[in-house]
């Protein structure tokens, strides 16, 4: 069986970025800022900007956080590229890293273009709401879970 190459993992990251940006472009063309549509009893589509990070961390800061999160994501992306090169012959680790890289860069694009991240997936149970998120956030979360799974299932 042929081993995956770094280019395979970079293509996956690019696919995550494209899917993320396409979904956000569709949302912004179909919704106005703040608009919400109920899809099911537990899921809504909304159009919100998150100027902070996960769970709106630092979203009320004066604006410096935009550049801080861009710089942080770019530094982490460089580190991820190094790890992807080192582990390109494996399966799970570079898969996880590719998802995180694509998600991080998808959100960087938002910060550069819009000054904030576009979020639109909004899950809830009754009146208990999970913060809105997007495709990039989903890829990052899945990637982190895969990395943790690999670390905890690794044989000593």
72 contacts: CB under 8 Å, gap ≥ 6: none
Given 20, 44, 110, 137, the catalytic residue: 137
Helix (H) or strand (E) holding 14: helix 6-30
Taking each helix axis from N to C end, the angle separating 135-153 and 6-30, rounded to the nearest 10 degrees, works out to 150
CA angle in degrees (0–180, nearest 5) for 46-47-52 = 110
Given 20, 44, 110, 119, the catalytic residue: 119
Q: What are phi and psi of 120, to 5 degrees?
A: -155, -15
Q: Does residue 126 carry a catalytic annotation?
A: no
Q: Does residue 137 carry a catalytic annotation?
A: yes
149 is written with which tokens? 């799974």
User: Which residues belong to the active site?
Assistant: 119, 137
């Amino acid at each position: 069986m042929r081993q995956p190459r770094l280019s395979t993992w970079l293509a996956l990251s690019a696919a995550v970025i494209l899917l993320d940006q396409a979904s956000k472009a569709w949302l912004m063309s179909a919704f106005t800022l703040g608009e919400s549509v109920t899809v099911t009893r537990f899921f809504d589509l909304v159009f919100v900007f998150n100027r902070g990070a996960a769970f709106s961390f630092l979203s009320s800061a004066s604006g410096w956080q935009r550049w801080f999160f861009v710089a942080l994501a770019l530094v982490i992306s460089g580190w991820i590229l190094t790890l992807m090169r080192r582990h390109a012959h494996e399966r799970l680790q570079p898969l996880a890293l590719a998802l995180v890289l694509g998600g991080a860069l998808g959100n960087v694009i938002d910060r550069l273009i819009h000054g904030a991240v576009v979020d639109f997936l909004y899950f809830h149970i009754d009146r208990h709401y999970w913060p809105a998120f997007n495709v990039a956030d989903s890829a990052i979360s899945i990637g982190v879970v895969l990395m943790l799974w690999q670390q905890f299932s690794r044989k000593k």
